[in-house]
Amino acid sequence: MHNLISYAASHLRQLLLAGILLLPTLVAGSEHLVMLWQADGARNRIYLLGSVHLLRKSDHPLPAAIYRAYEDSGTLIMELDMDDIDPLATQALINELGMISDGSELRELMGPRLYAKAEEHAQRANIPLAMLASTEPWFAALTVENLLLMRIGFNPVYGLEMHLSQRARADEKEVLGLETERQQMEILDNLTLEAQRHLLLQSLEEGTELEAVMNEMIAAWRHGDTEYLEQYLLSGLQESHELFDALVADRNRDWAEQIDKLLAEEENYLIIVGALHLVGDISVPALLEERGYTLTQLGDVN
């Protein structure tokens, strides 16, 4: 189970369900932007690719610009080092951080009122909430999100990270990570109970509208519509300072520092992070520009 934090950040859509922006129709053969930026160091290039971690088979092939950036890069860097994922170690972390250890249940952690609300939404979305009785609210939220997404055809097998890491393995390119699984899970586990409850309720509430919402979001991602992602996704997350700081802003600052050091090297890198990390005033591109780098959003032909 990889990129847990970004699953949560990428799917909080408070404002999106209130009024979905219709994207402009793109004419076949027209040029359009993609969620891909280039930053030039003194002797190398770094590409920043915004990811949707779960995609559908029908979302392939990816925009050609992504493959060009891949071919021009010697090393791939993702939120997690996909080559080092150990299923047994991941399950041990889930048992340690994602499961309730004091004998209580999810019902008690949510409280009577919020759990009743969660049950109502779960029934409407056909989610068996009872199976999550032993999980922390944050882990229950991610489980619900993944169940709902896989139900409508989204799968990490088709996601950018899995797709490009498999290609890198075949091409014998190195794959590195910006974070560890423990770091990611601890960020969620350290959220206040109030924030964790919010994540779970949000995941359940959006269940019946998810397919239409995802269609719009994938179209925005595919065509580099940063305004859409910022206005209809990021702004909703910013309503909770705790969630925004923990899931997005703090990590962006850490990653910008790491990337700054990479821009002093000679090798080209392709860095893949959740798309929401590349939009807004505290995005990774904005933070790198504050450090004096020029970033260019790249385009493709539809």
In sequence order, which residues have a C-beta less than 8 Å from that of residue 61 and are 6 or more positions away?
none
pLDDT in tens, 165-217: 999 999 999 999 999 999 999 999 999 999 999 999 989 987 777 888 889 88
At 53 the pLDDT is 87
Q: What is the mean predicted confidence (pLDDT) over 49-64?
A: 93
Asked which of 6-15, 138-147, 217-226, 230-239 is least confident by mean pLDDT, the reply is 6-15
For the entire predicted model, the pTM comes to 0.88
Question: In which band, very low, low, confident or very high, does the pLDDT at 301 lie, cut at 50, 70 and 90?
Answer: low
At 191 the pLDDT is 95
Which tokens sit at 256?
A: 């910008």
Residue, of 300 and 1, whose pLDDT is higher = 300
Question: In which band, very low, low, confident or very high, does the pLDDT at 20 lie, cut at 50, 70 and 90?
Answer: very low
Taking the C-alpha atoms of residue 145 and residue 141, their distance in angstroms, rounded to an integer, is 6
* Residues above pLDDT 90, as percent of the chain: 74
Q: What is the mean predicted confidence (pLDDT) over 77-94?
A: 91
Which tokens sit at 263?
A: 């821009």
At 24 the pLDDT is 36
CA geometry: angle at 155 spanning 153 and 160, to 5°?
Answer: 125
SS3 213: helix
At 302 the pLDDT is 52
| Neighbour tally for 256: CB within 10 Å | 21
* pLDDT higher than threshold 80 for residue 154: yes
Q: What is the mean predicted confidence (pLDDT) over 288-296?
A: 97
Residue with tokens 């009577």: 112
DSSP class of residue 174? E
Q: What is the mean predicted confidence (pLDDT) over 80-86?
A: 85
Positive or negative torsion for Cα 61, 66, 72, 74? negative
Pick from 264, 273, 279, 163: nearest CA to 220:
279
Indicate the domain borders of the chain. 4-21+29-100+135-200+210-301
Q: How far is CA 265 from CA 43, 45, 78, 259, in A?
A: 7, 9, 18, 10
DSSP class of residue 85? -
Mean predicted lDDT score pLDDT of the chain = 87
**Do residues 15 and 239 lie in contact, with contact meaning Cβ atoms separated by under 8 Å?**
no
β-partners of residue 144 are none
Question: In which band, very low, low, confident or very high, does the pLDDT at 30 lie, cut at 50, 70 and 90?
Answer: low
